[in-house]
A and B are shown apart, each in its own frame.
Chain A
Amino acid sequence: MMAQAAAKSQQVIAASEGGARTTASRLRGQLGFWSGLLTAVCALGFLTGSLAYPTPAWRGMGAYIASFDSSQMLWMIPALVLAPSFLVLMVCVHAGATDERKLLAEIAVVFATVYATLATTNYFIQLIAVRPSILSGSAQGLAFLSMANPNGLFIALEGLGYLFQEIGMLFVAFVFVGSRLKWSIRWSLFGASFGCWLIAGILVLALPRSLLSGLGSLGVVSVGTDLWAIFTALAGILLAVHFRKQGMARQGT
């Protein structure tokens, strides 16, 4: 009698845990799909904005103020939204990772958090504090904060933020193993992490300068940034498909 009651209790606990897992994975699938899609849209928005309204070459604060147009900062809006959506995406990958690969996803979440902090702060300061100062004509002393200044705070914080994001992408790439889709996700994440800089270096060395001149004045940095956006968009789309497939497979069962 006691054994029967214990077995029944075990069954109830197992059913309860099964239900919990289903609810958790449904939520993960939905959040993962939408954050993956938003990540892709933001990366493409960033690419479009930065190509349509490139940052002018730095010739001092006076020249920067004279040629300043708010549309030069348009690309910052998708880049600002990218940070929290990428953060949500990493949490969803972490939630779905197998036990032996959970640590890699957890490291990615931590790096993504640092990236989100640095990137959003940097962009919000430009949009909210620097832009109005330039427009009101009181920005003469803000050269150090100007986004066009290659030796300024903006470039330093941006570089640091994306370094953290790319380290996170490198770790999370190793979570995906198995099907063709998972390998595609892994390689697109490799591409977005450090592969883009390797390819950019090769392209800059191999292609004629006339072909590259349209991509901006910074050479490897411009080409690498464009490739980063393409790989990030690709990874976002593939991750959205991955989470949608997981959701559909669950509905099917």
Chain B
Amino acid sequence: MALMRAGRQRVSAGPKDGGHGPTGQPAAALLGPAALTAASVGMWSAVLLAILNVWFWVAFILYEPALQAPWRGMGAYMAMFIPARYLAWAVPAFLIAPAFLIMIACLHAWANEVQRTWSLLALVFALPGATLMAALYYIQMTVVPVNFSHGLTDGLRLWIYAPPYPFTFPGALEGVGYGFEAGAFLLAAQIFEGDRLQLCLRWAFRATGLSALVAFIDPVIRLPVPLVLADGALALILLSAAPLLLAAFWRRTIGSSPAALRGRGAGPVQGSRRSG
């Protein structure tokens, strides 16, 4: 009966697997069809996000020597420019934006009534973040390499990753983008409560949000270099670990749902979804 009511939300069904019901009591996270779809899509987007983050960080660290090289003018920069090494981190950085947005959208679709204000807030902060990051890295993927390949540098000075970064357009756009994404992580953290995995998720999301916030604060108030480097190392771990934890949580939730709900049989819930 309760399952038939579940068009779009989780349903409290007992204290067994440590989910969290709307009144605060432990409850199984049995999912309605819509929430199950959100958990499935969300799980894969979270896994993809973690993979893209690892790819991005590895490629970006390999690009660091070029980024840290002393500035010798635009001509020298263009001569040193290797498109493949540049695209190696620009492509995953671009793909991270839609993967992140899908993950947060799925979190909103999965959330119950109490959590919905937090999840909507997270979504409206994730949207500007993803828009800005996607636009920035698309420009980096296309405009910068194409212009360099044609020997053109007009107007590109403040668009490249070079000194006085972060006081350039990429630095400013990353600052605002990471600022919004940090907000999205911090707001999404409020959704998780209950068992140990959810508490881990809450703290992982909070730590990720605080870590990403440094990218917003640093250009405004210059932070000590060791702190920024330590934060970079922490972000490297957290930006992959937090989505992986979320994927594990959703995997467990999907696993605990009845086979009928997972589409392996024509149970009463599927019938109710068709009729209603």
Q: Give the interface of A toward B (CB within 8 A).
A: 6, 9, 13, 15-17, 19-21, 23-24, 27-28, 31, 84, 87-88, 91-92, 94-95, 109, 112-113, 116-117, 120-121, 124-125, 127-129, 132-133, 136, 141-142
In the bound complex, how far is the Cα of B234 from the Cα of A226, in angstroms? Answer: 44
Question: Is the Cβ of B1 less than 8 Å from the Cβ of A9?
Answer: yes
- Point out the residues of chain A lying under 8 angstroms from B24, CB to CB: 19, 23
Question: Is the Cβ of B23 less than 8 Å from the Cβ of A19?
Answer: yes
Given contacts A19-B23, A116-B128, A117-B132, contact A128 B113 (CB under 8 A): no
Question: Is the Cβ of B116 less than 8 Å from the Cβ of A124?
Answer: no
Please tell me if B208 contacts chain A, counting CB pairs below 8 Å. Answer: no
- Point out the residues of chain A lying under 8 angstroms from B124, CB to CB: 87, 91, 109, 112-113, 116
Question: Is the Cβ of A125 less than 8 Å from the Cβ of B173?
Answer: yes
Given contacts A16-B22, A87-B124, A95-B117, contact A129 B171 (CB under 8 A): yes
Q: List 24 A-B contacts (CB under 8 A).
A: A6-B1, A13-B5, A13-B12, A16-B12, A16-B21, A20-B112, A21-B113, A24-B116, A24-B117, A84-B125, A84-B180, A91-B120, A91-B121, A95-B116, A95-B120, A113-B124, A113-B127, A116-B128, A117-B131, A121-B132, A125-B172, A129-B168, A129-B172, A141-B155
* Contact string against A for B residues 101-131, beta-carbon threshold 8 Å, 1 for contact and 0 otherwise: 0000000000011101110110011011001
Question: Is the Cβ of B113 less than 8 Å from the Cβ of A20?
Answer: yes
Give the most central of A95, A117, A129: most B CB within 10 Å: A129
Please tell me if B32 contacts chain A, counting CB pairs below 8 Å. Answer: no
- Point out the residues of chain A lying under 8 angstroms from B127, CB to CB: 113, 117
In the bound complex, how far is the Cα of B22 from the Cα of A112, in angstroms? Answer: 29
With CB as the reference atom, state the residue of chain A lying closest to B22.
A20
In the bound complex, how far is the Cα of B127 from the Cα of A10, in angstroms? Answer: 38
Beyond the given A20-B22, A129-B167, please list 11 additional residue pairs across the A-B interface where CB-CB is below 8 A: A15-B23, A24-B114, A31-B117, A31-B121, A84-B183, A94-B120, A113-B127, A117-B128, A121-B173, A129-B158, A132-B164
